[in-house]
Amino acid sequence: MTQVKAYAAHQADKPLSPYQIERREPGPFDVEIEILYCGVCHSDIHTARNEWNGTMYPVVPGHEIVGKVTRIGSGVTQHKVGDTVGVGVFVDSCGHCHSCEQDLEQYCENGHSQTYNSFLQDKKTITYGGYSTHIVVTEKFVLKVSDSLPLEGVAPLLCAGITTYSPLRYWKVKKGDKVGVVGLGGLGHMAVKLASAMGAEVTMLSRSPQKAKDAERLGAQHFALTTEKKTMKKLKNTFDLIIDTVSGQHNYNDYLALLKVDGTMVVLGAPPEPEKVSASSLIRGRKRLAGSLVGGIKETQEMLDFCAEHNIVSDVEVIPIDQINEAYERTMKGDVLYRFVIDMASLKQMT
Ligand code: NAP
Ligand code: ZN
């Protein structure tokens, strides 16, 4: 075991603070990674504050990890010391259920191991995430990262990137498709970049008028203010696909109304309380309401390669780790352009 520095939430209503955790010695198929950057996902906040219930304190959040390989086990073949690598939302799965066999580890029927606030496959060992200096992960769940892109901008691809890429691919978004993206935050800005790189005509649906200029810069052709009744009325029957990334309570029926006949709305955001869906919102227009969770390891590698090829990274605001609590507050207010990323050198240097 190696003791490493970390930042943890100890209680739902208390700020995160420095903490020490133990990382296992790399086993035969393990990769030890020195973490350089870790993105701050809204899921970190939901979990640190126990908004979804089930938080096991102390929790070390962080599942948008980029770093360098420092040690490998004797059986590791995919990675070598010095490689730049990434770790996303999960670190293991059963490997033999129907979902795992189809490269859909995120839907592992025996329960995948999330990067934090979860158990390893022994169902006993609690996982701790990327707000730490090092992590040890089984090699199959370690992604290859291109050195050609700025690494702080790559980190958020490991969650925000793959979570939006996966449904865009599953619903086969192509040139000319009309895609609406709801909520311009971490996931939302990646959805805009990726959908427009796939050739879609993207409309940003946001409650924040000050984000209109950015939406266009990120690749959206149109910007619609969701708080304006007449705008929402005008957009009825417009979209083939809506990607909903909103983290707080909102009315799904308002957005289902914007779909064309046979259109699909994919829910990615996970507000703490259930939302009500009226049957007629779906019946009138044979519409579909769907959900999607992150993406499998194979698809995550495909997304990283797609981003390297199209020069796509996240727009980030890099912070030292002692600003994490302020970053949470700003994220809650929608005041982040468009992902906070922790520079882990700030934790390494902390005495
Ligand atoms: P974020 O950066 O905080 O962005 C969320 C955006 O939603 C905000 O910037 C805001 O955009 C909008 N918004 C927030 N509260 C709202 C409300 N009450 N009503 C209307 N709009 C609201 O969060 P994120 O990191 O992108 O994560 C978004 C959600 O996805 C979270 O719930 C997170 O847990 C979830 N998530 C899901 C998956 C998955 O696999 N499905 C993966 C990662 C994260 P505007 O100011 O533009 O309106
Ligand atoms: Zn996330």
Averaged pLDDT of the chain: 97
Contact indicator for 242, 266 with CB cutoff of 8 Å: yes
Residues 6+ apart with CB under 8 A from 118: 90, 112, 126, 127
Contact indicator for 181, 191 with CB cutoff of 8 Å: yes
- pLDDT the model gives residue 109: 98
d(Cα 81, Cα 69) in Å, to the nearest integer?
5
- pLDDT the model gives residue 178: 98
d(Cα 349, Cα 284) in Å, to the nearest integer?
59
- pLDDT the model gives residue 147: 87
- Segment 115-120 shows an average pLDDT of 98
- 205: exposed, middle or buried (C-beta count within 10 Å: 0-12, 13-18, 19+)? buried
Q: Residue 70 pLDDT more than 90? A: yes
Read off the tokens for 173: 């978004």
- Segment 186-214 shows an average pLDDT of 98
pLDDT in tens, 145-186: 998 899 999 999 999 999 999 999 999 999 999 999 999 999
Q: Which of 310, 318, 320 is nearest to 341 (CA)?
A: 318
Q: Residue 20 pLDDT more than 90? A: yes
Instruction: Report, in this order, helix, strand and coil percent for the chain, each rounded to 5.
Output: 30, 25, 45
Task: Find the ligand nearest to 290 CA.
Answer: 1
d(Cα 332, Cα 107) in Å, to the nearest integer?
28
Q: Pairing relation of β-strands 222-225 and 201-206?
A: parallel
Nearest ligand 1 atom, CA 339: 2
- Segment 266-285 shows an average pLDDT of 97
User: Tokens 């490991």 identify what position?
Assistant: 158
Nearest ligand 1 atom, CA 45: 34
Q: Say which amino acid occupies 132.
A: S
Which residue among 243, 246, 339 has the greatest number of ligand 1 atoms within 8 angstroms of its CB, and so is best to mutate? 246
Task: Find the ligand nearest to 205 CA.
Answer: 1
Q: At 158, is the secondary structure helix, strand, or coil?
A: helix
User: Tokens 């994919």 identify what position?
Assistant: 266
- pLDDT the model gives residue 98: 98
> What CA–CA distances, in Å, run from 209 to 183, 213, 215, 226, 334?
12, 9, 10, 9, 12
Beta bridge partners of 182: 205, 244
Q: At 258, is the secondary structure helix, strand, or coil?
A: coil
> What CA–CA distances, in Å, run from 204 to 93, 219, 251, 258, 336?
35, 9, 17, 13, 16
CA of 339 to the centre of ligand 1 (A): 11
Nearest ligand 1 atom, CA 332: 3
For the entire predicted model, the pTM comes to 0.98
- Segment 16-39 shows an average pLDDT of 98
Task: Find the ligand nearest to 208 CA.
Answer: 1
Band of pLDDT at residue 51, cut at 50, 70 and 90: very high
**Helices first, then strands: H and E counts in the chain:** 12, 17
Residue nearest to atom 4 of ligand 1 (CA): 185
Which residue among 106, 187, 203, 251 has the greatest number of ligand 1 atoms within 8 angstroms of its CB, and so is best to mutate? 187
Residues 6+ apart with CB under 8 A from 309: none
Residue nearest to atom 32 of ligand 1 (CA): 247
Q: Which residues of 239-275 are buried (b: 16+ CB within 10 A; e: fewer)?
A: bbbbbbbbbeebebeebbbbbbeebbbbbbbebeeee
Domains and CATH numbers, the chain: 2-158+315-348 (3.90.180.10), 161-291 (3.40.50.720)
Task: Find the ligand nearest to 42 CA.
Answer: 1
- pLDDT the model gives residue 351: 80
User: Tokens 């990120």 identify what position?
Assistant: 218
Q: At 250, is the secondary structure helix, strand, or coil?
A: coil
- Segment 91-101 shows an average pLDDT of 98
Read off the tokens for 287: 């519409």
Residues, CB within 5 angstroms of ligand 2 (ion): 41, 43, 159
Q: Which residues of 166-175 are buried (b: 16+ CB within 10 A; e: fewer)?
A: bbbbebebee
Alpha helices in 138-247 (DSSP H): 151-154, 160-170, 186-197, 212-218, 229-234
Nearest ligand 1 atom, CA 246: 7
The ligand 1 site (C-beta within 6 Å) comprises: 41-43, 46, 159-160, 163, 183-188, 206-208, 211, 245-250, 268-270, 292-294, 331, 334, 336
d(Cα 178, Cα 220) in Å, to the nearest integer?
11
Contact indicator for 268, 207 with CB cutoff of 8 Å: no
Q: Residue 52 pLDDT more than 90? A: yes
